[in-house]
């Protein structure tokens, strides 16, 4: 088993960032609903928007939409655009009908879209009004998932940030893990922290309304996802303190993330070692199996989810890849700092996008692997480039030790496949 | 406001994208907020295209709102014209840009680009995807097609095929072959495969073949009016419709209606004795109007089904659809609300559904076999193999596609009977039908159980389980059998039972025990076994 390289002398925290403005080939924040509704089991997400919004959710949710999920779109029609007062009455009626049909719903999110923002439909006030009307059975909140305001995973941020001011107040010293993780991953994190004697630990979002954490001056929180800038700000505003750490991807990321929390709670070194030794070894072994396929290969990230800097750190340090460009839709240096410290100087860091110019850079660099969205993946493959579609990294369990090997395999698989397929004639 | 989950059609600008993406040398500059690029993946993933759709989005964000968005739009036009060097451009707004009231057409016109720029007015809050495609194609034809000399040989244009069209790729190949066999040359196929320059020479054709009224009718009418090109009214889906189409083309082209039918298999397949069990099968049909109406004719006249319900989601074609339904003694279901479709299916309890991917999933829930006949469709309905719906090969494809799920349905039925053997665990749902995972009430038949359990979707499905694609809490233990102590099988009856084919043995055993219990018998003899058989025979 090879040891990790020492942290770079000079990381990317202070590196210059290429900021681009132009066409952005990204999802809007509405897509966050697709994984958020799975996590929050008693919530319904009602988008107030156009047929485009409904069509987007349908396209992004793929086959999941047929499982009667807990989200939908209140379609704005011609008559709603004519006069605003009417739109509020219409919304109230649709919400009443929805809640009557779905008595299991405890939290309702009114999700703003580009059309609802542009016509300045005040969903915040609508949420207040509906909250009064349906309390205490259902809690109604609002946030924006509009493309004009949010990019892809930012939709989770605006959702959680909208929850924070409503959370109960507490003076207890509790740890809150922030970010919607797949249940299996969340359970692993809780088990590790529990084994170190850290607790109580709460999650934001919780699986059900009654389990939502309380916040106060003694609360400390750790982020499990890098795209939570606004939620981070709201938590600090309520007096909670952030435990800065790299994000828990790979063996190193998970260990450093746990270490930061363990230090906060004064966990002795030998206990930390005892709890983490076995899963660390497992993670290293699992990653090593795929790292052989990835070592020395170059990778180019197009902006998508804000996971890019942390994933670049994992792939360069634990799998031996070289990063050409690390694009992210939004770079929060405070939150991503610890990952940027570990990412050796060299790659272009870019924020925002001008997709045609960025594709020119991809073609010039001809990276071994390009991480991009589904609108670009097949066209780039047709140009002979190998791609890894980014959205899978948000839907699949990839955090913490037991998933470290799976995470590496997501990147190794397209390269292996390219090697396996031999479609030309033998002679 | 209207609560929606599934949408049969996207917004109209997606229809415009279908035209632009189908064509070559045309570029679409779409004034739209960040995020609307999601529509690209419909083309690159579902249709598996190997190039990005020729669409430039302005992707404005909140900070651009105000006076900036107009500049942003002009910059996007300039950049697209320089980078892609198209022969022509179309410009328009998505639903959000429609609200901010920049005028894409006016802005683009003021720029003095050297290529034709065609502005699109697509009312996003009233109309939908098919309208967007039809209108865009119409505007292109209106803007670009000019009168020109007719070709020396008799020729036609093919109108309507677009990107993301259900089997459009192969329909065009099949119909081109038919026309070629009749001695009719194809002048231009549009929008799919055509360039703006091709559109300018559409006037050279003698007539037009309108394959898809949903996406090509406005253009066909315009060409009829302005360029005096008649167009075909019959959509050649099915054997009868194809023959009618051939007769219509022969009349318009002045050629004999002669076509090689040797590759047509549907009539014999349908006549062969193996197909007898298809007679009178009750079928429900839903989709776009063109495909649904064509399917009704095939179902009734070529396969021998009974059509028990029919409808479409595109209101533009409500009139002909209603007329056809009336003729069949039915009332057409015109709706874009899948819950209404589900309710109709659930009430009618058909034996086969012909529909879109939505109906495929409704069928799964209700345990009813389904074949896909119309968009919207998923990636599996953009197959690698040649599979037209139109012409003679299309008829062959349709026969296979519709009969397959029914054969599967029989298999399903046998499997259910199998499961009544206690050693087969009822919860083991190894089937392509989701309904298989649904528990069966104790004595009901499988079909009833599926329908009763699945019910109406939203309120009754546990969300967590549903989202995982099953409903674990609805899986009950296998049906309890009669107390074995109550009725005793005599050994000769037991031996006789073993002579019954294994796949119906379980049912025979249970029926006999039920019969014995009802008669108050404590022992089962051979006599009882055959009395029970006679009792349950229908």
Check CB contact under 8 Å for A91 and B10. no
Local structure of A14: helix, strand or coil = coil
* A20, A21, A23: best to mutate for the B interface, most B CBs within 10 A: A23
CATH of the domain spanning A29-150, picked from 3.40.630.30, 3.40.50.1980, 3.40.50.2300, 1.10.10.10: 3.40.50.1980
Give the pairing of strands A71-75 and B2-4. Answer: antiparallel
| Smallest CA–CA distance from A103 into chain B, residue | B459
Of the candidates B103, B97, B101, B130, which has an alpha carbon nearest to the alpha carbon of residue B119? B103
**Which percentage of chain B shows pLDDT scores above 90?**
69
Nearest CA in chain B to A31: B35
Residue in B4, B10, B466 nearest the CB of A67 = B466
- Tell me: the pLDDT tens digits for B25-64? 999 999 999 999 999 999 999 999 999 999 999 999 998 8
Confidence band, pLDDT 50/70/90 cuts, at residue B503? low
Residue B288 neighbours by CB distance under 10 Å? 26
Sheet holding A298-301, edge to edge: A17-21, A348-353, A322-328, A298-301, A369-372, A387-389
Tell me if A147 and B35 make a contact (CB, 8 A cut-off): yes
A306 CA to centre of own chain: 7
Residues 366-395, chain A, touching B (beta carbon < 8 A): 373-379, 381-382
Once rounded to an integer, what is the mean pLDDT over residues A72-79? 92
A66 confidence band (pLDDT: 50, 70, 90): low
pLDDT reading at B470 higher than 60: no
Annotated binding site of A for [4Fe-4S] cluster: 28, 53, 114
CB contact (8 A) between residue B467 and residue A118: no
Q: Is B125 within 8 Å of A50 when comparing Cβ atoms? A: yes
Region of poorest pLDDT, from A178-192, B327-341, B447-461: B447-461
For residues B235-268, b (16+ Cβ closer than 10 Å) or e, as one string? bbbbbbbbbbbbebbbebbeeeeebeeeebebee
Q: Residue B99: its chain A contacts at CB < 8 A?
A: 81, 115, 118-119
A24–B7 C-beta distance less than 8 A: no
Helix axes A308-318, A269-294, angle to 10 degrees: 80
pLDDT, tens digit, 9 for 90 and up, residues A328-347: 999 999 999 999 999 999 99
C-alpha–C-alpha distance, residues B529 and B114, integer Å: 89
- Distance to chain B for A151, nearest Cα, Å: 7
Mean pLDDT of all residues belonging to chain A? 94
**pLDDT tops 70 at residue B472:** no
SS3 of chain A: helix, strand, coil, percent, to 5: 50, 15, 35
Exposure class string for A180-207: b at 16+ Cβ within 10 A, else e: bbbeebbebbbebbeebebeebbbbbbb
Nearest to A115 among B14, B49, B99 (CB): B99
> Apex CA B207: angle with CA B319 and CA B246, to 5°?
75
Report which secondary-structure segment, H or E, holds A301.
strand A298-301
State the pLDDT confidence band at B475, using cuts at 50, 70 and 90: very low
CA distance A260 to chain B (A): 34
Residue B467, pLDDT above cutoff 50: no
Say yes or no for a CB contact (<8 Å) between B7 and A58. yes
Q: Choose among A27, A51, A104: nearest Cβ to B7.
A: A51
What phi-psi label fits residue B112: left (phi over 0), alpha (psi between -120 and 50 degrees) or beta?
A: left
Query: Are B361 and A66 in contact (CB < 8 Å)?
Result: yes
Rounded CA separation B114/B14 (Å): 26
Whether domain A174-264 has CATH 3.40.50.1980: the reply is: yes
**Torsion sign across C-alpha atoms B473, B342, B432, A57:** negative
Q: What is the pLDDT of residues B233-285, one digit of tens each?
A: 999 999 999 999 999 999 999 999 989 999 999 999 999 988 888 999 999 99
Query: Looking at CA atoms only, how far is residue A255 from chain B in angstroms?
Result: 31
**Which residues 124-183 of A have a C-beta within 8 angstroms of B?**
146-149, 151
Of A56, A65, A102, the CB nearest to B458: A102
Least confident among A3-17, A343-357, B37-51: A3-17
Measured between beta carbons, which residues in chain B are less than 8 angstroms from residue A37? 467
Residues of B catalogued as catalytic: 274
Note whether B11 contacts A356, CB cutoff 8 Å.
no
Q: Where are the domains of chain A?
A: 17-24+287-426, 29-150, 174-264
Helix (H) or strand (E) holding A58: helix A51-61
Q: Which H or E element spans position B528?
A: helix B526-536
- Per CATH, which fold does A17-24+287-426 belong to? Rossmann fold (3.40.50)
Question: Chain B contact for A115, CB < 8 A?
Answer: yes
The 10s digit of each residue's pLDDT in B98-147 is: 998 899 999 999 999 999 999 999 999 999 999 999 999 999 999 999 99
Contact B277, B304 (CB under 8 A): no
| A331 closest CA partner among A312, A354, A306 | A306
Q: How many A-B residue pairs are in contact by the CB < 8 A criterion? A: 201
The mean of the pLDDT values for chain B is: 87
- Give tens-digit pLDDT for B204-224: 999 999 999 999 999 999 999
Domains of chain B with CATH codes: 12-127 (3.40.50.1980), 145-253 (3.40.50.1980), 265-406 (3.40.50.1980), 488-537 (1.10.8.550)
CB contact under 8 A, A51 and B10: yes
What predicted TM-score, i.e. pTM, was given to this entire model? Answer: 0.87
B45/chain A closest Cα distance in angstroms: 7
Can you give the pLDDT at residue B318? Answer: 97
Q: What per-residue confidence (pLDDT) applies to B496?
A: 85
pLDDT above 90 for B476: no
| Predicted-complex ipTM score | 0.94
Least confident of A130-139, B177-186, B504-513: B504-513
Instruction: Select the residue of A54, A117, A118 nearest B4 (Cβ to Cβ).
Output: A54
Write down the H helix ranges in B330-428.
338-348, 357-366, 391-419
The pLDDT of residue B502 is 62
Q: Do domains A17-24+287-426 and A29-150 have the same CATH topology?
A: yes
Mean pLDDT, rounded, for B426-454: 41
Residue list for the binding site of A: 28, 53, 114
Chain B CB contacts of A376 below 8 Å? 40, 44, 52
Closest chain B C-alpha to A370 CA, distance in angstroms: 16
């Amino acid at each position: 088993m090879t040891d990790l390289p020492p942290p770079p002398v000079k990381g990317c925290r202070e590196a210059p960032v290429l900021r681009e403005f132009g066409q952005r080939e990204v999802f809007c924040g509405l897509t966050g609903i697709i994984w958020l509704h799975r996590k929050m089991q008693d919530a319904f997400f009602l988008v107030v928007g156009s047929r485009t919004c409904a069509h987007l959710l349908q396209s992004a949710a793929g086959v999941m939409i047929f499982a009667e999920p807990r989200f939908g779109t209140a379609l704005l029609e011609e008559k709603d655009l004519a006069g605003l007062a009417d739109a509020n009455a219409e919304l109230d009626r649709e919400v009443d009908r929805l809640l009557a049909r779905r008595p299991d719903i405890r939290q309702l999110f009114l999700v703003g879209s580009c059309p609802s923002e542009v016509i300045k439909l005040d969903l915040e006030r609508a949420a207040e009004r509906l909250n009064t009307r349906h309390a205490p059975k259902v809690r109604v909140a609002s946030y924006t998932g509009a493309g004009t305001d949010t990019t892809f995973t930012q939709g989770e941020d605006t959702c959680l940030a909208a929850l924070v001011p409503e959370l109960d107040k507490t003076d207890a010293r509790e740890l809150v893990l922030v970010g919607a993780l797949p249940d299996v991953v969340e359970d692993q994190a809780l088990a590790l922290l529990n084994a170190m004697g850290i607790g109580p630990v709460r999650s934001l979002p919780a699986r059900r309304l009654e389990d939502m954490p309380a916040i106060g001056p003694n609360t400390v929180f750790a982020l499990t996802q890098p795209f939570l800038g606004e939620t981070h700000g709201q938590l600090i505003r309520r007096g909670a303190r952030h435990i800065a750490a790299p994000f828990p991807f790979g063996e190193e990321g998970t260990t450093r993330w746990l270490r930061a929390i363990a230090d906060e709670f004064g966990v002795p070194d030998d206990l930390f070692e005892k709890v983490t030794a076995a899963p660390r070894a497992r993670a290293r072994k699992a990653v090593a199996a795929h790292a052989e396929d990835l070592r020395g290969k170059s990778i180019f990230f197009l902006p998508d989810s804000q996971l890019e800097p942390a994933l670049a750190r994992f792939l360069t340090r634990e799998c031996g890849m070289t990063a050409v460009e690390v694009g992210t839709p939004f770079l929060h240096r405070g939150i991503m700092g610890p990952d940027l410290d570990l990412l050796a100087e060299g790659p272009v860091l870019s924020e925002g996008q001008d997709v045609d110019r960025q594709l020119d850079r991809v073609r010039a660099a001809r990276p071994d692997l390009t991480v991009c969205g589904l609108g670009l993946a097949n066209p780039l493959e047709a140009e002979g480039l190998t791609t890894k579609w980014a959205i899978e990294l948000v839907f699949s369990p990839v955090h913490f030790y037991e998933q470290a090997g799976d995470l590496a395999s997501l990147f190794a698989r397209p390269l292996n496949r390219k090697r396996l397929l031999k479609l030309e004639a033998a002679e | 406001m209207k609560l929606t989950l599934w949408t049969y059609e996207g917004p109209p600008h997606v229809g415009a994208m279908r035209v632009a993406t189908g064509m070559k040398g045309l570029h679409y500059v779409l004034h739209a907020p960040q995020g609307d690029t999601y529509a690209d993946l419909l083309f690159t993933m579902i249709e598996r295209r190997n190039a990005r759709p020729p669409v430039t989005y302005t992707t404005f964000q909140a900070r651009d709102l105000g006076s900036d968005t107009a500049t942003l739009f002009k910059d996007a036009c300039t950049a697209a014209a320089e980078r892609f060097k198209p022969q022509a451009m179309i410009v328009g707004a998505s639903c959000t840009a429609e609200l901010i009231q920049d005028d894409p057409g006016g802005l683009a016109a003021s720029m003095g680009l050297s290529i034709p720029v065609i502005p699109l007015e697509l009312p996003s809050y009233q109309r939908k995807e098919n309208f967007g495609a039809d209108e865009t194609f119409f505007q292109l034809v209106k803007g670009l097609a000019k009168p020109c000399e007719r070709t020396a040989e008799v020729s036609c244009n093919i109108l309507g095929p677009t990107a993301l069209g259900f089997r459009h790729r192969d329909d065009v190949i099949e119909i081109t072959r038919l026309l070629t066999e009749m001695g009719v040359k194809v002048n231009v196929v549009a929008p799919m495969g055509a360039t703006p320059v091709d559109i300018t020479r559409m006037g050279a054709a003698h007539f037009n073949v309108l394959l898809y009224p949903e996406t090509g009718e406005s253009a066909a009418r315009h060409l009829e009016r302005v360029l005096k090109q008649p167009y075909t009214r019959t959509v050649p889906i099915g054997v009868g419709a194809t023959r009618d189409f051939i007769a219509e083309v022969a009349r318009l082209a002045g050629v004999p209606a002669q076509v090689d039918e040797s590759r047509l298999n549907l009539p014999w397949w349908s006549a062969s004795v193996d197909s007898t069990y298809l007679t009178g099968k009750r079928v429900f049909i839903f989709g776009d109007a063109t495909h649904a109406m064509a399917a009704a004719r095939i179902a009734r006249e070529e396969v021998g089904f009974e059509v028990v319900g029919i409808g479409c989601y595109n209101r533009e074609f409500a009139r002909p659809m209603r007329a056809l339904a009336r003729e069949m003694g039915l009332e057409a279901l015109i709706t874009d609300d899948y819950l209404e479709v589900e309710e109709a299916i659930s009430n009618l309890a058909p034996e086969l559904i012909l529909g879109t991917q939505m109906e495929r999933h409704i069928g799964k829930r209700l345990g009813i076999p389904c074949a896909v006949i119309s968009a919207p469709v998923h990636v599996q309905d953009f197959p690698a193999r040649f599979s037209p719906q139109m012409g003679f090969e299309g008829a062959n494809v349709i026969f296979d596609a519709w009969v397959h799920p029914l054969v599967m349905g029989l298999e399903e039925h046998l499997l259910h009977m199998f499961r009544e053997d206690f050693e087969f665990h009822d919860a083991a749902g190894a089937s392509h039908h989701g309904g298989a995972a649904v528990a069966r009430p104790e004595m009901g038949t499988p079909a009833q159980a599926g329908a009763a359990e699945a019910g109406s979707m939203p309120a009754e499905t546990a969300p967590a389980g549903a989202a995982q694609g099953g409903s674990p809490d609805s899986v009950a233990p296998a049906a309890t059998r009669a107390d074995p102590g109550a009725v005793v099988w005599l050994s000769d009856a037991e031996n006789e039972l073993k002579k019954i084919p294994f796949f119906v043995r379980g049912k025979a055993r249970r029926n006999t025990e039920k019969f014995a219990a009802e008669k108050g018998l404590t022992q089962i003899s051979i006599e009882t076994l055959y009395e029970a058989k006679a009792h349950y025979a229908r």
